């Protein structure tokens, strides 16, 4: 496994645990099924190396946990479930190569996974060409369930619009109207920037600059100099994974946190856990958070996850967990593995409380196949220590901020 030196997210302990989870997921479960029983195979393509490795690893962990639960309860259509994990490296080319292996050699029944939006878009198109259901667990760009929506693709994570709308009002009222953006130069970053700017302009604010940084940037000094020169009220950081770790460390070294508010659309426990205390700051949106007092089944899920992996689950853990369970729920409801019939069963599918693990209704919207769940905007509290690294300010129902399917540009067409 190739790692970038100095990466806060790619820790040896996580890799050892992740590798063990991956190997375990390749084995058939020890149950009462006969030796000749053909397993239902789910191909899971996630980054295990590169900028988004820690995020991908937790999505795999969540899916692994779901598959173990499914096999304890009868599997899919009375057959054992097998999770076949492949490393996308966070790049479309390797991801499609692994998808071809999973389809042609391993004969998988479903595909799921991805952190990068560019990978998600490529896998969606590949799966459509091969008449397969694909669940995008963690690639956020609006177009995946918007202008490029497809009958075979469902998304569990939110859209970039929902991420930005989740905390826009909070940031605008609290910090001011002059914003400078540091944007990762690919689909995810471009979508976040466009969505924030649309809301900013509508509210009467101004984007005073936008610095585009390539994916995998390690030195953000030139971009931070641009931001400081613009003298904004808010520095909006749109990076994720290792990139956001490096950016926040350097922003604090530059003293930016003393000159302006630091905030962004998406924050994740994996990033916060990898930061030194001085860089634990900012206002962000979480898509799922482990600390939800009084919400049914969350405490049991956290306990089971900690027992299995030694840490609290993250939003990425929930993405993988919910996605694998959703595939099983739909296939069992449809009583078949036929892709179009399973797709119809997924349309409007509401996750039961023990899978949703949050307040309100969580469901895949029929018109565009987008999961409608909650956003959890808030901030990093001063002196935060693991696992209490975030303080949720409010829970925002996704249905109140998601764009209607027609406005998002989705026109769903089934073959035949």
Q: What is the pLDDT of residue 33?
A: 60
Contact 390, 380 (CB under 8 A): yes
- Arithmetic mean of pLDDT, 12-34: 45
Give residue 210's Cα distance to chain centre: 24
Q: pLDDT by residue (tens digit) across 356-368?
A: 999 999 999 999 9
Residue located via tokens 């996580």? 14
Q: What is the model's pLDDT at position 35?
A: 56
pLDDT score of 14 more than 60: no
CATH 3.30.470.10 fits 12-159+294-374, yes or no: no
- pLDDT computed for residue 17 by the predictor: 42
H or E element, residue 379 = strand 374-379
Matching CATH topology for 12-159+294-374 and 161-290+375-400? yes
pLDDT at position 125, please? 97
Q: What is the mean pLDDT of residues 149-155?
A: 98
At 218-273, the pLDDT tens digits run: 999 999 999 999 999 999 999 999 999 999 999 999 999 999 999 999 999 999 99
This prediction's pTM: 0.92
Q: What is the DSSP string of 29-67?
A: P-SS--TTPPPEEEEEEE-SSSTTHHHHHHHHHHHHHHH
What's the whole-number mean pLDDT along residues 188-192? 96
CATH homologous superfamily of domain 161-290+375-400? Response regulator (3.40.50.2300)
Q: What is the DSSP string of 308-373?
A: HHSS---HHHHHHHHHHHHHHHHHHHHTS--HHHHHHHHTTPBPPHHHH-SSS--EE-TTT-BEE-
Give CA–CA dist 331/344, Å, rounded: 10
- Residue 26 pLDDT exceeds 70: no
Closest CA to 142 of 125, 161, 128, 157: 161
What mean pLDDT comes out for the span 139-163? Answer: 97
pLDDT of 12 > 80? The answer is no
Residue 1: its pLDDT value, please?
Answer: 26
DSSP 110-153: EEEE-SSHHHHHHHHHHHHHTT-EEEESS---GGGGTTT--TTE
Cα–Cα distance for residue pair 111/101, rounded to 1 Å:
12
Q: Which pLDDT belongs to residue 416?
A: 81
Residue 352: CB atoms within 10 Å: 12
> Average pLDDT, stretch 325-353?
98
List the chain domain ranges. Answer: 12-159+294-374, 161-290+375-400
């Amino acid at each position: 496994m190739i790692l970038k030196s100095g990466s806060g997210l790619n820790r040896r302990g996580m890799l050892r645990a992740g590798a063990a989870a991956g190997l375990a997921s390749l084995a058939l479960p020890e149950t009462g099924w006969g030796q000749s029983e053909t397993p239902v195979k789910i191909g899971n393509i996630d980054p295990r190396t590169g900028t988004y490795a820690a995020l991908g690893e937790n999505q795999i962990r969540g899916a692994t946990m779901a598959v173990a639960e499914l096999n304890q309860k009868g599997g899919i259509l009375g057959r054992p479930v097998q999770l076949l994990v492949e490393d996308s490296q966070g790049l479309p080319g390797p991801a499609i190569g692994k998808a071809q292996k999973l389809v042609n050699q391993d004969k998988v029944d479903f595909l799921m996974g991805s952190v990068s939006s560019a990978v998600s878009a490529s896998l969606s198109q590949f799966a459509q060409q091969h008449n397969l259901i694909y669940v995008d667990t963690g690639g956020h760009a609006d177009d995946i369930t918007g202008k490029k929506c497809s009958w075979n693709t469902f998304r569990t994570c939110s859209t970039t619009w929902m991420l930005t709308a989740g905390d826009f009002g909070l940031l605008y009222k609290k910090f001011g109207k002059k914003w400078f953006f540091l944007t990762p130069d690919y689909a995810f970053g471009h979508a976040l920037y466009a969505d924030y700017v649309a809301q900013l302009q509508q509210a009467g604010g101004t984007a005073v600059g936008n610095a585009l940084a390539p994916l995998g940037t390690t030195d953000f000094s030139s971009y931070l100099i641009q931001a400081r020169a613009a003298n904004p009220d808010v520095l909006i950081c749109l990076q994720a994974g290792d990139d956001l770790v490096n950016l926040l460390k350097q922003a604090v070294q530059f003293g930016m946190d003393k000159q302006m508010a630091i905030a962004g659309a998406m924050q994740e426990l994996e990033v916060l856990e990898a930061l030194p205390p001085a860089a634990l700051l900012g206002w962000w949106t979480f898509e799922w958070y482990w600390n939800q007092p009084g919400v049914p089944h969350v405490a049991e899920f956290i306990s089971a996850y900690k027992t299995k992996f030694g840490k609290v689950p993250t939003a990425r853990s929930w993405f993988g967990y919910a996605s694998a369970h959703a595939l099983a729920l739909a296939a069992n409801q449809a009583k078949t593995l036929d892709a179009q019939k399973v797709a119809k069963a997924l349309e409007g599918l509401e996750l039961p409380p023990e899978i949703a693990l949050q307040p309100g209704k969580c469901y895949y919207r029929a018109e565009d196949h987008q999961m409608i769940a909650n956003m959890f905007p808030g901030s990093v509290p001063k002196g935060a220590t693991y696992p209490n690294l975030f303080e949720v300010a409010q829970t925002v129902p996704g249905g109140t901020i998601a764009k209607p399917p027609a406005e998002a540009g989705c026109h769903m067409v089934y073959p035949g």
